[in-house]
Amino acid sequence: MRGESLKGHMDMLLLGVLADGSKHGYSVIQELKNRSGGALDLPEGTVYPALHRLHDQKLVSSTWSVVDGRRRRTYALTKRGHRALDEHWREWREFSEVVRHVMGGEPWPATH
């Protein structure tokens, strides 16, 4: 999958991966690869800026620890992050449903 296709969805995917529990960058990337069956094979270095952005937006928190003599940063979803994930997920389901209807030639139920 091209990185371009992920525009706007990266945040949701990262939040989704972190929803199961705190993880450090390497684990987040591996989880993205595993859950997507390898389809999400991004340059790994580009995932970190996205995590940092979520951190700046206070959607994830981070803690530092020392593992094998190295400093390690672990990310966890905040309450705000949980709310954002729910919102992203709702929007995504709605959008994919619309796309499904449009591509399948079915009219989308009218809303008032």
- Asked if residue 73 lies in contact with residue 51, where contact means CB atoms within 8 angstroms, the answer is no
Specify the stretch interacting with other proteins by CB under 8 A; choose among 43-51, 76-84, 89-97, 101-109: 43-51
Among 44, 61, 76, 92, binds other proteins (CB under 8 A): 44
Give the integer Cα–Cα distance in Å for 59 and 100: 30
Q: Which of 46, 79, 94, 96 binds other proteins (CB under 8 A)?
A: 46
45 near other proteins (CB under 8 A): yes
Among 36, 57, 63, 96, binds other proteins (CB under 8 A): 57
Rounded (10°) angle between helices 10-18 and 47-56? 80
Binding other proteins by CB under 8 A: which of 2, 20, 37, 56? 56
- Non-local (6+) Cβ contacts of 14 within 8 A are 28, 32, 47, 50, 51, 54, 60
Q: What residues form DSSP beta bridges with 74?
A: 24, 63
**Which residue ranges make up the site for other proteins (CB under 8 A)?**
6-8, 10-11, 24-26, 29, 42-46, 48-50, 52-53, 56-57, 64, 67-68, 70-73
